[in-house]
Amino acid sequence: MFAPPEMRQNSPRSSIIAHPLCIFVGTWSLTFLLYSAAFSEQLIFKISDFFYVYILIIGGFLSGYCLITLAPNRRPYSLSKQNEAIQYLMVVVGRHSEELWRRVVSVFAIWMLISIFEVIVSGGLPIIWLLTGSEKTYFDFGISSVHGFAISMLLSSATASFLLYLATKNGKFLLMPAVALAWFIISVTRAYIIGLSLQIFFLYFLVNRITFNITVRMVICLIVLVLFFGMFGDFRSSGGSDALINALARPTQNYPDWLPSGFLWVYLYITSPLNNLLNTITQSPFLDSYSIASTLSVLFPTVIRNILFSSQALSQGDLLDESLNMSGAFVGPYLDFGLIGIIAYSLFIGCISALFWAYRYKPFYMLGYVYVATALFFTLFFNAIFFLPYAFQLILFWWFLRPLRRVRGGSRLRPMPRMK
């Protein structure tokens, strides 16, 4: 089969902002830079003393990425053929959109049934508890060991639905992502609002070039997101006052007072996990034993996790403030194997991201890369690669796209030869 001339002329190019090196290296470099600005008294370490941690994280990732990319037995397709194959994939998805849509809707329907049952069992909704001043919080919502699977169903359904929109431009496929975002607001879960937004963001830029107009819109959206993040944080934590964030962050003289409270919320959330990781390294420089429990425990449902793993394995490291309980994705590997664990985990995610990026023109790998790219960003906060609500999406993505296996090899789609 040959690509139509118009397809080859308008062949998309994955934007560099969706590239794993840009996501991971850019995210961690920015985090270390923000930490060095010392805008908060919560950040007690001198970042120059821990520059080696940055080298281990970035160096391990680059090594893993190059290990896959430069493997001698792998013959990667040229960038132009990859772009052409992505366009072909979108055409195929568009042709089979209704069949794929039925699968997505079936999973979405299961999520709805589970969520209705969770509302009944939990006795209400987190947004109502918040508005009425109830003692219940969003932590009290959901059914243990079931809630994570439900979240995964909603995330994967909304992401797959957005893929159908990109392939068909049919507005009905935007309804499911909108419902998902609305539900995450109702359940007062900022993490999943950001998670789904990132998955949609990376999926969009896997098949679209970045332009000046899009850049302007992204900047505007980023500003709105910062303001929303601050407003939502103030509202959820203190009824609309920014007094809590000032008391929690304790801004230093370096902090620009003219910035909105939303920036301080974002700044503290981004830098505090690194602060906790550095504190864990300082407080636990030596290990008494070695395991992979701390790294892999989040892959299991809560009930199984509590049976298989000890409370020490579920530790978030040495926290400097109990209200800032994120320690990043590297605290688990460090608790398991020390600095070697940091290198090994970074090497692993470098390999995984290179593999999914190289084959992003195949159906499963395209949606799979969206999960990987989001997990790369979330390494700042937690181990999303092995976190069940995100990792289970891979199984659902495979099931959604299974009908495409009948199309000329389906998941083994190859770039089409060019017209001479």
Q: How far is CA 368 from the centre of its chain?
A: 12
Show contacts of 195-198: CB within 8 Å, 24+ apart.
195/155, 195/374, 195/378, 195/384, 195/390, 196/155, 196/158, 196/159, 198/373, 198/374, 198/377, 198/378
> Where are the domains positioned within the chain?
5-412
> Given a cut of 50, is residue 409 above it in pLDDT?
no
Give the range among 128-137, 230-239, 260-269 with minimum mean pLDDT.
Answer: 230-239
Q: Which of 69-83, 322-336, 362-376 is most confident?
A: 362-376
Q: What is the pLDDT of residue 228?
A: 65
pLDDT band at 420 (very low <50, low <70, confident <90, very high): very low
Between residues 324 and 277, the one the model is more confident about: 277
Per-residue exposure over 236-246, b if at least 16 CB sit within 10 Å of its own CB, e if not = bbeeeebebbe
Give the range among 46-50, 165-169, 214-218 with minimum mean pLDDT.
Answer: 214-218
Give the range among 32-36, 238-242, 290-294, 359-363 with minimum mean pLDDT.
Answer: 238-242
Between residues 301 and 270, the one the model is more confident about: 270
Residue 251 half-sphere exposure toward CB, CA atoms < 13 A: 18
The mean pLDDT value for 11-28 works out to 84
The mean pLDDT value for 174-192 works out to 92
> Given a cut of 80, is residue 192 above it in pLDDT?
yes
Between residues 138 and 44, the one the model is more confident about: 44
Its pTM stands at: 0.87
Give the range among 180-194, 206-220, 224-238, 295-309 with minimum mean pLDDT.
Answer: 224-238
Q: What is the pLDDT of residue 394?
A: 96
Q: What is the pLDDT of residue 251?
A: 82
Q: What share of the chain is helix, strand, coil (3-state, %, to 5)?
A: 70, 0, 30
Strand partners, 251: 40
Apex 22 CA angle, 21 and 26, nearest 5: 110
- 397's CB contacts (< 8 A; 6+ apart) are 156, 159, 160, 364, 367, 368, 371
- What pLDDT, in 10s, does the model give residues 63-121? 999 999 887 655 556 666 777 888 888 999 999 999 999 999 999 999 999 999 999 99
Mean pLDDT, all residues of the chain? 84
The mean pLDDT value for 380-389 works out to 93
Q: How many of the other CB atoms lie within 10 Å of CB of 222?
A: 11
Alpha carbon distance 397, 367 (integer Å)? 7
Between residues 72 and 137, the one the model is more confident about: 137
> Given a cut of 60, is residue 239 above it in pLDDT?
no
Alpha carbon distance 43, 45 (integer Å)? 6
Q: What is the pLDDT of residue 291?
A: 81
The mean pLDDT value for 177-200 works out to 92
Q: What is the pLDDT of residue 287?
A: 75
How far lies 89's CA from each of 30, 217, 247, 365, 418, in Å? 34, 27, 51, 11, 16
pLDDT band at 3 (very low <50, low <70, confident <90, very high): very low
> Would you list the DSSP string of 156-222?
HHHHHHHHHHHHH--GGGGHHHHHHHHHHHHTT-HHHHHHHHHHHHHHHHHSS---HHHHHHHHHHH
Q: What is the pLDDT of residue 2?
A: 38
The mean pLDDT value for 242-261 works out to 75
Give the range among 46-50, 109-113, 346-350 with minimum mean pLDDT.
Answer: 46-50
> Given a cut of 80, is residue 179 above it in pLDDT?
yes
Q: What is the pLDDT of residue 406?
A: 65
Give the range among 25-34, 138-147, 240-249, 385-394 with minimum mean pLDDT.
Answer: 240-249
Percent of the chain whose pLDDT exceeds 90:
47
